[in-house]
Amino acid sequence: MYNFKGLLFHLSISACLIGCSDEDDSPDIEFQAPIAIEATSIGEDGFTANWIEVLSADSYLLDVSAEEDFSAFVGNLQDVPTSGSSYKVSGLEDNTTYYYRLRAVAGSEVSAFSNSSQVRTAEMEEPFVPVDQPDIPLKDYADFPIGMAVQAGRMTALYDQRLSGEFTSLTAEYEMKMNIMYPSSDSFNFEQADAIVEYAEANDMQVHGHALIWHNATPSWVTNFSGTNQEFEQMVEDYITTVVTRYKGRVRSWDVVNEAIEDGNGQLRNSVFLQKMGADYVAKCHQWARNADPDVLLFYNDYNIEFDAQKQQAMLDLVDDFIDRGVPIDGVGFQMHISYNFPSKSQLESITGEVVNRGLMVHYSELDVRANPNGTLTQLNDTRAEEQGAKVEEVVSIFASIPTDQRFAITVWGLRDSDTWLIDFWGNPEWPLLFYDDFKPKPAHTGFLRGLGWQP
């Protein structure tokens, strides 16, 4: 890449050497032409033209042509007034060679033309035409619960057809969290949670409660709690007792404290719960949930414990401590926000085995498989869709090899690709789930079936 400042400095010095007079050191130089450099951000219909600025220029005049001799210009792209050191050109043909040049302007003076820079626009991608997949319900081939993250507002007919047709477990994507169910210190809101639990009961599906305590879904009145630490702890105990009691016998399991461990260092996350209740707050929350319902299954749930070594060790230390002290815990939730090419099969097998060896249940609790982790794709393609399907098959096969009584569920974090949280989170196109936006199954769905033992 160009060291623009260094180049500008040399340009001004060389200009000065050409034009400096003995009488004074102010350069009376010929007005320098800019230097056009390679285009960037090259797409199907345009690119960014770049150049080295001229120190004394006020502005520039840009030409874009499909002719190397600039005998004709593209549309109105002749003498386009601009400033700075780049200009975004759009509205061009794909897979076509273009040339650009420019002149510098300072007051009434216009420099000579710069050199010409050549660029070829990207070839238009053919629209992705999905290959039809077998439309076979996942639950027909599963001997463990298959879960889906749901929202009360997304229980319409087309969703209902897939939810009740394919899945046997539901997790509220956000409506059973504290910021929704306990919006203010004097009011609860169980409307959406009740709707989800009632839908599950009507369709003979289990409900996994997510999540009693999560730093990212804590209402502001809790984050900014005005009472003493003792009052805070009592409030948390009362909340957990109220919620778990309300859904006793209706919600099979709970993520008690979600994501309590920091990334990359294995420390407890410095949440308001840690600050006001101390390091044993996770154990306290587990005990309070158990006190409210002796039969509910209690999980510790987190992300990146599929591959972050420090986080893995911290999770295992927490689990071992709970087991040693008799703190109630029934399983570990691996969120499984993974990619088509990461983490590896051996990484997933290894950490899953650590939890299985401790006699706990395993929940792959929020499965999505990024097809576009580097943000390079603007649309899905057959190759990547098949690679994604192979990763899903791998994940399901690993889970299916766990001893039967330790397989809690695999829960997919969204139904259709456009339902995913990942698009907003990463800001690039993404297709991480099992169904296209028209509710038709993807190769990822076929991979899931294969992992369950289905064969064509």
**For residues 35 and 152, what is the distance between their CA atoms, to the nearest angstrom?**
59
Rg (the chain; Cα; Å): 30
Cite the DSSP H helix spans in 94-185. 157-166, 178-181
Q: How far is the CB of 258 from ligand G3I (least distance, A)?
A: 6
**Token representation of residue 388:** 């994604």
**Token representation of residue 40:** 């960037």
SS3 state of residue 360: coil
Would you say 153 or 403 has its CB closer to ligand G3I? 153
Considering only residues 35, 52, 136, 217, which one is a binding residue for ligand G3I as defined by CB under 6 A?
Answer: 217
Binding segment (CB under 6 A) for ligand G3I, from list 33-41, 45-53, 65-73, 169-177:
169-177
Binding segment (CB under 6 A) for ligand G3I, from list 35-43, 172-180, 347-355, 434-442:
172-180
- Between strands 361-370 and 407-412, the pairing is parallel
The sign of the CA dihedral 73, 79, 81, 86 is positive
Q: Are 318 and 268 in contact (CB under 8 A)?
A: no
Q: How far is the CB of 271 from ligand G3I (least distance, A)?
A: 14
Is 370 a residue that touches ligand G3I (CB under 6 A)? no
Q: How far is the CB of 210 from ligand G3I (least distance, A)?
A: 6
Would you say 192 or 267 has its CB closer to ligand G3I? 192
Binding segment (CB under 6 A) for ligand G3I, from list 74-82, 109-117, 123-131, 173-181:
173-181
Is 177 a residue that touches ligand G3I (CB under 6 A)? yes
Binding segment (CB under 6 A) for ligand G3I, from list 171-179, 194-202, 292-300, 375-383:
171-179
**For residues 339 and 148, what is the distance between their CA atoms, to the nearest angstrom?**
18
- Draw the binding track, 128-167, toward ligand G3I (x: CB under 6 A; -: no contact): -----------------------x-x--------------
SS3 state of residue 399: helix
Would you say 164 or 258 has its CB closer to ligand G3I? 258
Is 173 a residue that touches ligand G3I (CB under 6 A)? yes
Considering only residues 53, 330, 366, 393, which one is a binding residue for ligand G3I as defined by CB under 6 A?
Answer: 366
Q: How far is the CB of 427 from ligand G3I (least distance, A)?
A: 14
Measured in degrees and rounded to the nearest 5, phi and psi for residue 113 equal: -65, 145
- Between strands 80-82 and 59-65, the pairing is antiparallel
Would you say 333 or 389 has its CB closer to ligand G3I? 333
First to last CA, the chain: 52
**For residues 410 and 348, what is the distance between their CA atoms, to the nearest angstrom?**
14
Would you say 312 or 446 has its CB closer to ligand G3I? 312
**For residues 444 and 51, what is the distance between their CA atoms, to the nearest angstrom?**
45
Considering only residues 206, 253, 335, 372, which one is a binding residue for ligand G3I as defined by CB under 6 A?
Answer: 335
Considering only residues 99, 174, 254, 448, which one is a binding residue for ligand G3I as defined by CB under 6 A?
Answer: 174
Would you say 185 or 216 has its CB closer to ligand G3I? 216
Is 421 a residue that touches ligand G3I (CB under 6 A)? yes
Q: How far is the CB of 205 from ligand G3I (least distance, A)?
A: 19
**Token representation of residue 101:** 């040049």
Q: Which residues are catalytic?
A: 259, 366
Of the CA atoms within 13 Å of residue 112, those in its CB half-sphere come to 8
* E strand segments, 284-422: 297-302, 331-334, 337-339, 361-370, 407-412
| Footprint of ligand G3I on 27-86 (CB under 6 A) | none
What distance separates the 2 farthest-apart alpha carbons in the chain? Answer: 96
Site residues (vs ligand G3I, CB under 6 A): 151, 153, 173-174, 177, 216-217, 258, 303, 335, 366, 421
